[in-house]
A = this chain, B = another copy of it.
């Protein structure tokens, strides 16, 4: 092994005979470049509406613009920002554009960006309390703040013997809670029972659940995506949950975990928490509530009803980075029994031992998450909550819901279109009516006994065509969902910068593309 030892005598690299010794934290340069980047970003936001929302580049574009190896000598920041402007920005899909109505938004704000700057600047690792007490204590404090804003039951708060933690994302929140639930059962039943564990969600549950369950070693055959229907507005029915559980028990399996959703990705459907939790509790299951998108709205008293029943669940998560201005990544998870997670995820290597941890008087967040290291994300959440305050944040949510309502009304005024599902939050699901699609179609063959389905397939195709045309225009960006066999366009309001004019303009873009694809609406045909 001796031959492997460190070669400390290796000469430094030189340029023109001089050894290169740099200071990557030179304060003058830090100030100069820091100010430059602040202005660079401000300019980006000033011009953000000029870019195509959906990037128009082709696969492989970037490797044609940039060299294939790292440079040997350092380059000035100006050269890099120039490359960002010329090569990176055209390849961005502009999530912060007020014309971005796709997926669910990841919303930014000045406070969040400043929070990320401080986080990167201090660059501390609050892996356990002692490694940076403020990182741990601010996170615990701010998670209690936010828990109170959501009117979470006290058992989820530190002040009620539960507690909150900032994870990176929903998959991580599910992995932590599912692992805790899994190990609670396996400690009793023996590890071999892992092959019998069953987890439940609906066919509308986010794919993070599937991913997390697979990662946690649940047999893919035991991951249930229970069918939802229009009759329950695509919420999970407690009856179908009970039936599935009973079938599984009859087959010798062990029901473990339910992931209920408030605000599904496709259409913001809401699973009925209270009755689902009651079913789950009969079978001693862990219930996690994923309100990734919609959770933020519950800071408004009038939306709080959507998580009624949460008092019966074991854990709750939502992404403050979605609708609460906090920038990626900030997934807030509360659990009633943090100790269940700690039991599964704690490791206690000698090199991390310290008095504070041994006193059991402190939180060591490394044991509440997948990773050991962690960024100081609480800073940005704290800055957002303080910069804007509860009043402003509630209005932020309400204004977006009003804008969604406005869009819904615009859709309703055009007879070619319909709003497909009732709206719960700030997402509108709409489409060209099947009757328009039929009248447009050149297919005259009669499909006997298959009329409705055929109409729908045709409508689906034309709606997909419409969405494609809208998005390739670069003027707005929306995405789609297919639910109950119906293809819908999703219009999500959630960008920080969105105002009424963006919504009305987006609707104009939809209409213009519909006009050129399907002809003018009847009323306008009359007018001309």
Contacts and interface: CB of A to CB of B under 8 A. Distances in A.
A527 interface: no
Contacts of A59: 129, 133, 356, 359, 361-362
A94 B131 CA distance: 9
A399 B38 CA distance: 32
Main SS of the interface on chain A? helix
B351 A114 contact: no
A148 B233 CA distance: 53
Given A25-B108, A70-B390, 6 more contacts: A15-B391, A59-B361, A63-B137, A75-B387, A80-B382, A265-B351
Given A103-B351, A141-B66, A215-B215, A171 B124 contact: no
Interface string A315-353: 000000100010111000000000000001101111110
Given A118-B37, A125-B106, A68 B392 contact: no
Given A386-B71, A392-B20, A395-B12, A235 B1 contact: yes
Given A59-B359, A137-B91, A370 B118 contact: no
Contact of A8 (B46, B116, B350, B405): B405
Given A148-B70, A480-B351, A21 B395 contact: yes
Interface stretch (A187-195, A248-256, A451-459, A506-514): A187-195
A386 to B, nearest CB: 5
Contacts of A87: 134
Contacts of A149: 70
Given A70-B389, A425-B6, A172 B350 contact: no
25 contacts: A1-B232, A2-B422, A13-B391, A13-B394, A23-B497, A30-B38, A30-B42, A34-B114, A38-B38, A59-B359, A68-B145, A70-B148, A73-B392, A74-B389, A75-B386, A77-B111, A91-B132, A95-B132, A113-B117, A172-B371, A191-B221, A194-B217, A216-B216, A321-B373, A351-B481
Interface residues of A, number: 196
Interface in A73-105: 73-75, 77, 79-80, 84, 87-96, 103
